[in-house]
Structure 1
Amino acid sequence: MTGPVLAVDQGTSGTKALVVCPERGVIGTGSAPVRPRYLPGGLVEVDPAQLYDSVVAAGRAALAEADTPVAAVGLANQGETVLAWDPATGEPLTDALVWQDRRAEELCSELASHADELKRWTGLPLDPYFAAPKMAWIRRHLTGAGVVTTSDAWLVHRLTGAFVTDTATAGRTGLLDLDSASWSAPALDVFGLGAERLPRVVDADTHVGTTTAFGPPIPLTGLLVDQQAALLAQSVTAPGAAKCTYGTGAFLLAQTGSTPRRGGSGLVSCVAWRLRGRTSYCLDGQVYTAASAVRWLTDLGVLSGAGELDAVGGAVPDSGGVTFVPALAGLAAPWWRGDVRGSVHGLGLDTTAGHLVRALCEGIAAQVVELAGAAASDLGRPLTSLRVDGGLTRSALLMQTQADLLQLPVEVSALPDATALGVGAVARLGLEPGLSVQEAVPEWKPSAVYEPAVTAAEATERLGRFRTAVDALLGGGAEGASRP
């Protein structure tokens, strides 16, 4: 077996890097912050130099701590974040529009008549969350020069000179044919991107080049979008299993195997990964604001940070009748209403910070329950448990609330940084052709399992209050019940 690999997870608010040894586990870590700009009107952008510099800084820090050579590097990326750049020089031509950015809303409205066919071709709804609308917006409003791609293609080019993207990341654009896992000419034409030079779509476990950005030359042998990397790290490789990552947003993915499922629930059908020449698919649902909603409460002074969730929320026995729909960046799956804003109902003079914290935890957990129910509907069978990872899983209050409302066990990953571990496994697969997927992925083991502590009737009642609040935001009636 080969030596350690460097696994780099380039995320929304920072980059985390691990040096992972097949015998000793994680032997080096590094991190570097990224600071997106949250602007009025739902605009979220970041200086691309911050993305690249954070990758280099985090990677070098992890290697310095490990103090041992590595055999390969793997890179995970944000998925739907895009920019225009010069392929001759590698220089950015625009800021990067972050996945949360909503500026392409009007463009999506213009293309609404194509929504059904786009979803049939690509598996994705027509929404500014995905990359293609942002790419088209950049071409309309910022520049026609260079190439316009997801952030991973630019980072890989800066690192190795290659012009590639992995199949799962390409599947987050709204430009990839879901069945053939190749660029869709009809979808490109709809967005006015038919003449674009696009990166070559490669398997996740592909040796794409060599980088000297971290010091000595290292082959780059693994590429995967962040949530799918976490899905792999949690060993969610059999149809029907699901995981949820609680980060800036919350992301639930359910494995569907070698066949894409195009259900009517409002979930996204997309590529999980293409490894060893075989494509696996998953269902994907998003909650736009999870840790970012906690940060919002922190900025208001309700909390000093996410580490206080349990202490502040634990000071009261329940939410005190407060219902919080934390749609602070709109509602994603299964509603797909990016125009909706959040709401808090049931405030009184007796409402405390603890009630607000509990209501926020219920609001995040209730949205995940909606995603799990939609996944079960599309799969034709209920989920049996939920594996979870991400920073907010440190909150026992949130995890217990999740188990209570879901009425299923919630298994918390014992392995932090699941995304980095997943892309580290992919890098090992790219390095060792004879290695199986099961051999490359770390053994799954939960650090804690939260069992439901309330009755199904109480869970139904609490979810009912949340759904009533969502219906009020959506306008009620048929519109509130509609799904793409």
Structure 2
Amino acid sequence: MTGPVLAVDQGTSGTKALVVCPERGVIGTGFAEVRPRSLPGGRAEVDPAQLYDSVVEAGTRALAEAREPVMALGLANQGETVLAWDPATGRPLTDALVWHDRRASSVCAELADDADELRHLTGLPLDPYFAAPKMAWIRRHLTAEGVVTTSDAWLGHRLTGAFVTDAATAGRTQLLDLDRAEWSVRALELYALSGERLPEVVGNAGFVGTTTAFGPEIPLTGLVVDQQAALLAQRITEPGGAKCTYGTGAFLLAHTGDTPRRGDSGLVSCVAWQLGGDTSYCLDGQVYTAASAVRWLTDLGVIKGAADLDAVGGAVPDSGGVTFVPALAGLAAPWWRGDLRGSLTGLGLDTGPGHLVRALCEGLAAQVVELAEAAAVDLGSPLDVLRVDGGLTRSALLMQTQADLLQRPVEVSALPDATALGAGALARVGAQPGLEVVDALPDWKPAAVYEPRVSADEAGERLAGFRRAVATLLQGVRG
């Protein structure tokens, strides 16, 4: 059985849906906006109804444009966004705590003595970014009713009635035994979640259930967390390669094969995907604010939007001595200091919008370099090339800055919606037993390749300035 599939990427600020045909590529698209609320104290939440409605709206639009039946549905999710809900009715009992919400810091503080054990068990550092602290916080402060899960389990239940989560998403909770890819009794005990009813952990490709939410009956056969979906779509299926997705945040993933790598560089070790009972693993590093930092500059009136980055930043030759650490929601890997705020230093009366734009691009690119270098340490060899995707890859200024500071080629994906395409490939594999995942993936070729244009010495000097600014933040010094 062959034919188009519906691939849905439920993201932080919106849901993108594609109808993907194996011969003709994308034949239908749909988008629906989601509006999370940013609240004082680093809190971020969203009405769960918005998440579900956006899935249905985007999927329905894509199907209407394609005007062809689809044989399967693939669903990608945000990863660490959490809510409580009633499994009998599907009704949400709380708002959804978005992945970058920091309110569970108090839970993590209480578990500080258990941080090393949790990291060894699950591959994840103790941080409110992950799902388990948010789940525990909801149980302590909001409700003891129903079930508390990541958003994918709720969406899957609303769509099909099933109560499952895929191995890659479960690996983002800090409740999954990393080596065995099943729930960890000990981690649940540490988080005081031992009595919870948790979704069944399933592979990333296989029949989950059938939905009529989009009109016709469609089997749900692919489930995956967003960044792993993009890793797959970028055809990084063997150790040695890495990708970075520039979305609301920036996320670098490096494939490590069939063995989890528990390095000490500050990166996360987690499940890449599980297919046919075989588990692949990856290293994962995060920059909490990428496109959201660009939106911040936009809200200040420095630029009119991301499309202005190149024009405004290109009006000046460099950052004019300005250094920007865009830790507007804290520093993630490899520092794991979500309590820190960003810094903007080196300002003068001659500082203009172009300098601020260039400083932002340098700050984002420098954080990605830190992730790439940490991955190289854990892998034991440097990355050959970095494949990139996401909306901010449209900025030639940011991509050139990335290549310059990384001192490696940066290959920009020609696939603008890599996450959805990865979910679609898994849906196809789940619907066609015996199909190899590499045969379900779209052909990969770069839309552009950025080579370094500066010397290693100059790149080193620019990175050193950024690292000094980070060190100042870490030391608690305010300039």
Matched, 1:365 2:365: yes
The TM-score, its normalising length taken from structure 1, stands at 0.98
Matched, 1:145 2:130: no
Aligned position for 1:164? 164
Q: Distance in 1 between matches of 2:183 and 2:107?
A: 21
Aligned position for 2:118? 118
Give the aligned residue type for 1:18: L
Give the C-alpha shift of residue 438 in structure 1.
1.0
Matched, 1:287 2:282: no
Q: How many residues align?
A: 477
Aligned position for 1:271? 271
Q: Give deviations 1:140-177, integer Å, cap 9, x for gaps.
A: 00000000000000000000000000000000000000
Q: Distance in 1 between matches of 2:275 and 2:20?
A: 20
Q: Distance in 2 between matches of 1:327 and 1:476?
A: 14
Q: Distance in 2 between matches of 1:402 and 1:130?
A: 27
Q: Distance in 2 between matches of 1:259 and 1:347?
A: 47
5+ long unaligned stretches in structure 1: 478-484
Give the aligned residue type for 2:136: A
Aligned position for 2:457? 457
Q: Distance in 2 between matches of 1:338 and 1:105?
A: 9
Give the aligned residue type for 1:15: T
**3-state SS in 2 of match to 1:324:** strand
Q: Distance in 1 between matches of 2:363 and 2:119?
A: 28
Give the aligned residue type for 1:32: A
Superposed CA RMSD in Å reads: 0.7
Q: Distance in 2 between matches of 1:441 and 1:433?
A: 15
Identity over aligned residues, as a percent? 80
Give the aligned residue type for 1:137: W
Matches within 5 A, 1:382-393: 382-393=382-393
Q: Distance in 1 between matches of 2:434 and 2:367?
A: 41
Aligned position for 1:94? 94
Matched, 1:321 2:321: yes
Aligned position for 1:180? 180
Q: Distance in 1 between matches of 2:314 and 2:123?
A: 41
Give the C-alpha shift of residue 476 in structure 1.
7.5
Structure 1 stretches of 4+ with a deviation exceeding 3 A read: none
Q: Distance in 2 between matches of 1:434 and 1:150?
A: 30
Q: Distance in 2 between matches of 1:392 and 1:220?
A: 30
Aligned position for 2:259? 259
Aligned position for 1:474? 474
Give the aligned residue type for 2:18: L
**3-state SS in 1 of match to 2:338:** coil
Q: Give deviations 1:71-108, integer Å, cap 9, x for gaps.
A: 00000000000000000000000000000100001110
**3-state SS in 2 of match to 1:334:** coil
Give the C-alpha shift of residue 206 in structure 1.
1.6
Q: Give deviations 1:9-58, integer Å, cap 9, x for gaps.
A: 00000000000000000000000000000001000000000000000000
Aligned position for 2:396? 396
5+ long unaligned stretches in structure 2: none
Q: Distance in 2 between matches of 1:120 and 1:132?
A: 15
Matched, 1:444 2:444: yes
Q: Distance in 1 between matches of 2:220 and 2:476?
A: 50
Matches within 5 A, 1:336-375: 336-375=336-375
**3-state SS in 1 of match to 2:269:** strand
**3-state SS in 2 of match to 1:208:** strand
Give the aligned residue type for 1:52: Y
Matched, 1:7 2:24: no
**3-state SS in 1 of match to 2:41:** coil
**3-state SS in 1 of match to 2:206:** coil
Q: Give deviations 1:180-211, integer Å, cap 9, x for gaps.
A: 00000000000010000000000000200000
Give the C-alpha shift of residue 276 in structure 1.
1.7
Give the aligned residue type for 1:212: T
Aligned position for 1:227? 227
**3-state SS in 2 of match to 1:237:** coil
The TM-score, its normalising length taken from structure 2, stands at 0.99
**3-state SS in 1 of match to 2:438:** helix
